[in-house]
């Protein structure tokens, strides 16, 4: 059992939560694991959806870093940022990705748009790393960037089927950040629509909402679906802090009042 204390509503709020349940892949993100029976089902693929700037990549990288700290090797595949950018940006949270890679606790692979077919057809080097180092965690950042590279919906969906075959063969617990569009901006009734309708691919879907309150937006996370899990059905207030993502699952979230 772990406890964290946070200043909220001008006071001190204490939350107790379990980092992991039996047979689960814990995220180690304060407040999240308790929302989904202790963590992700091993081998599942989860989409992390949200609009720009809502912390999708931060949450996904935090999942990898916490795994590395728990002796679980991770792999980050990026189609958006350069490795050097990732190293620099994540140091803001105290995460030395470059050092973790040197220690072979976290491997970062960078692909450009011109290399998309190479990734699909020659994923062997990544698969070898996963097998040789017994990697358990994978982040594919982002599924939206990957989908946008195809000129037709038919080609995109063919590539998605091939991609999912590859990811499931690797048997890692996988997070896939995805861009989404806000279709409702009304507090507890907030809704997101994932671009390209890719939610059908996943075993789990986490949605991050940025709901306007006056002249600012407040963040909240919802576990929309998770196969084989009695997950939370509530929106959990979320903060991006200097240590990463922090959730408050026992606090209410409304567009007015948080």
Gap between the Cα atoms of 251 and 231, Å rounded:
16
Question: How confident is the model at residue 122, as a pLDDT?
Answer: 63
- Return the top range by mean pLDDT from 118-122, 157-161, 192-196: 157-161
Gap between the Cα atoms of 186 and 179, Å rounded:
19
Domain ranges in the chain are: 2-247
% of the chain exceeding 70 in pLDDT: 82
Question: How confident is the model at residue 196, as a pLDDT?
Answer: 65
pLDDT per residue over 36-91, tens digit each?
999 999 999 999 999 989 999 999 999 999 999 999 999 999 988 899 999 999 99
Q: Give 130-141 as a DSSP string.
A: HHHTT--EEEEE
pLDDT per residue over 94-138, tens digit each?
999 999 999 999 999 998 766 777 777 766 788 899 999 999 999
CATH code at 2-247: 3.40.50.300
What are the angstrom distances between the C-alpha of 212 and each of 52, 209, 215, 223? 14, 10, 7, 20
């Amino acid at each position: 059992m772990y406890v964290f204390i946070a200043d909220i509503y001008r006071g001190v709020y204490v939350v107790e939560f379990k980092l992991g349940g039996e047979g689960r892949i814990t995220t180690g993100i304060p407040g999240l694991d308790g929302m989904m029976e202790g963590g992700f089902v091993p081998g599942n693929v989860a989409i992390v959806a949200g609009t720009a700037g809502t912390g999708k990549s931060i949450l996904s990288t935090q999942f990898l870093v916490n795994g590395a700290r728990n002796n679980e090797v991770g792999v980050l595949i990026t189609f958006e940022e350069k490795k050097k950018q990732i190293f620099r940006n994540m140091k803001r949270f105290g995460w030395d990705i470059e050092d973790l890679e040197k220690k072979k606790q976290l491997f970062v692979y960078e692909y450009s748009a011109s290399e998309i077919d190479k990734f699909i057809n020659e994923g062997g080097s990544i698969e070898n790393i996963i097998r040789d180092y017994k990697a358990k965690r994978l982040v594919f950042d982002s599924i939206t960037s990957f989908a946008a590279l195809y000129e037709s919906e038919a080609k995109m969906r063919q590539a998605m089927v091939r991609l999912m075959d590859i990811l499931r063969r690797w048997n890692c617990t996988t997070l896939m950040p995805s861009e989404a569009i806000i279709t409702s901006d009304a507090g507890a009734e907030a809704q997101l629509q994932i671009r390209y309708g890719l939610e059908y691919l996943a075993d789990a879907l986490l949605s991050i909402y940025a709901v306007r309150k006056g002249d600012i937006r407040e963040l909240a996370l919802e576990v929309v679906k998770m196969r084989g899990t009695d997950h939370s059905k509530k929106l959990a207030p979320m903060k991006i802090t200097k240590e990463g993502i922090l959730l408050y699952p026992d606090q209410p979230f409304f567009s007015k009042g948080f």
